[in-house]
């Protein structure tokens, strides 16, 4: 391998709602962002939603508020960034069905990019992308059940219910490549730190042999954690993504670009903060958010009660936004009763939206151990959300 190989990763990208027509803007991305991306051997873009020509594509979907697709004209921005790998493992890849994901793959090919995490079947969706001279292998997967898996009559994406296949692919990569990166579209939306079951899941990927985890889906930036010579980035937040659903929450206008630098000696990284200028619908370079810092296990345990309460508050906002007629007048006690009910369709015990776990953690705020954390900026960042 050459001395180093650099790979930049983006957060969530969706040219819809406020960014629907922004693909027409030549100055959508400021020069500092483009320079950061272009000073990389490879750029991996998380392309949420299908890339289509809407004038030639019939759009049938019952998702309404949560339907996302990107006009094919946006590919010029991917090209300008040097995005030669498109990650398809996300919960919007199948918003308009098989035609949508196949269109995305075709457009990637037209622009000289390869795709990872999605395909016509599980074999294709789980196939690694190899970068450099067998330096880095990329594998991408999403959460269950939101990330639709391939079936006989349609393509789809790899998700964490295919854990045995993921482990097999990681072993395959490590036989020929020095490093393995798992890109994971997972975690709870709008929370600033991972819940324990997400953290355990990502740790298990490291135990399988992955060297780096790159996370997105929460739509807000999160912390990172070093585990020996390995590292987990829990969420890069939003890159090009903005909706009213997002604006109802805190910190959705900020994101992170992470550049991994691989060498024989190990893995290093540098990062750039990004900010959505909502007055101009334009991406600008910004400061790295306070939450984007290393939080080790000791600090994590101290701060998790604050993060859990912050997520409970975010979920209340989410419910009030999506169904104001049902949840607009709910009291805290009514929300607690609802969120602790196991009748919620999105709930999966110990795996997703497990509010029994979160409420138990949030109760620990009263014990005051969080005050012992030395990460003052992180405490302030979380307290603003309560």
Structural contact between residues 142 and 186, judged by C-beta atoms closer than 8 angstroms: yes
**CA distances from residue 121 to 116, 142, 152, 214 in whole angstroms, order as listed:** 12, 15, 8, 23
* Nearest-angstrom CA–CA distance, 191 and 173: 31
* Nearest-angstrom CA–CA distance, 332 and 142: 31
Mean pLDDT in the chain? 96
- Note the pLDDT tens digit of each residue in 350-373: 999 999 999 999 999 999 999 999
- Note the pLDDT tens digit of each residue in 285-307: 999 999 999 999 999 999 999 99
State mean pLDDT over 152-157.
96
Structural contact between residues 92 and 49, judged by C-beta atoms closer than 8 angstroms: yes
- Note the pLDDT tens digit of each residue in 336-353: 999 999 878 788 989 999
* Nearest-angstrom CA–CA distance, 369 and 275: 33
- Note the pLDDT tens digit of each residue in 31-77: 999 999 999 999 999 999 999 998 777 777 767 778 999 999 999 99
Pairing of strands 136-142, 129-131: antiparallel
Q: Where are the alpha helices (DSSP H) in the chain?
A: 31-38, 75-81, 97-110, 122-126, 163-176, 196-208, 244-247, 297-322, 324-327, 332-339, 355-362, 376-383
What pLDDT shows up at residue 2? 67
Helices 355-362 and 196-208: crossing angle, nearest 10°? 110
State mean pLDDT over 163-170.
98
């Amino acid at each position: 391998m050459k001395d180093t190989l650099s790979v930049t990763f983006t957060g969530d990208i969706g040219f819809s709602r406020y960014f629907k027509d922004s693909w027409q803007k030549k100055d959508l991305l400021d020069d500092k962002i483009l320079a950061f991306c272009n000073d990389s051997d490879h750029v991996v873009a998380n392309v949420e939603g299908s890339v289509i020509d809407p004038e030639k594509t019939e759009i049938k979907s019952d998702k309404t508020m949560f339907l996302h697709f990107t006009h094919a004209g946006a590919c010029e921005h991917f090209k300008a960034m040097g995005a030669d790998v498109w990650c398809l493992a996300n919960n919007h890849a199948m918003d308009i069905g098989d035609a949508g994901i196949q269109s995305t793959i075709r457009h990637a090919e037209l622009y000289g990019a390869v795709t990872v995490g999605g395909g016509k079947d599980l074999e294709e969706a789980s196939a690694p992308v190899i970068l450099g001279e067998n330096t880095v292998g990329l594998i991408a997967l999403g959460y269950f059940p939101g990330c639709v898996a391939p079936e006989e009559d349609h393509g789809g994406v790899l998700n964490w219910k295919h854990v045995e296949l993921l482990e097999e692919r990681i072993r395959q990569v490590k036989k020929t490549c020095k490093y393995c990166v798992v890109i994971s579209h997972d975690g709870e939306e709008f929370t600033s730190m991972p819940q324990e079951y997400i953290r355990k899941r990502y740790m298990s990927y490291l135990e399988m042999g992955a060297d780096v985890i790159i996370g997105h889906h929460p739509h807000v930036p999160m912390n990172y954690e070093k585990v020996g010579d390995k590292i987990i980035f829990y969420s890069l937040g939003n890159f090009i993504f903005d909706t009213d659903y997002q604006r109802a929450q805190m910190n959705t206008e900020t994101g992170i670009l992470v550049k991994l630098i691989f060498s024989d000696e190990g893995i290093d990284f540098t990062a750039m903060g990004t900010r959505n200028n909502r007055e101009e619908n334009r991406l600008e370079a910004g400061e790295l958010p306070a939450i984007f810092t290393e939080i080790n296990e000791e600090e994590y345990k101290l701060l998790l009660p604050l993060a859990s309460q912050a997520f409970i508050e975010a979920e209340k906002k989410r419910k009030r936004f999506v169904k104001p007629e049902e949840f607009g007048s709910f009291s805290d006690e009514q929300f607690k009763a609802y969120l602790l009910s196991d009748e919620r369709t999105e709930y999966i015990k110990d795996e997703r939206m497990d509010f029994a776990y979160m409420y138990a953690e949030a109760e620990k705020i009263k014990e005051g151990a969080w005050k012992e954390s030395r990460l003052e900026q992180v405490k302030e960042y979380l307290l603003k959300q309560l």
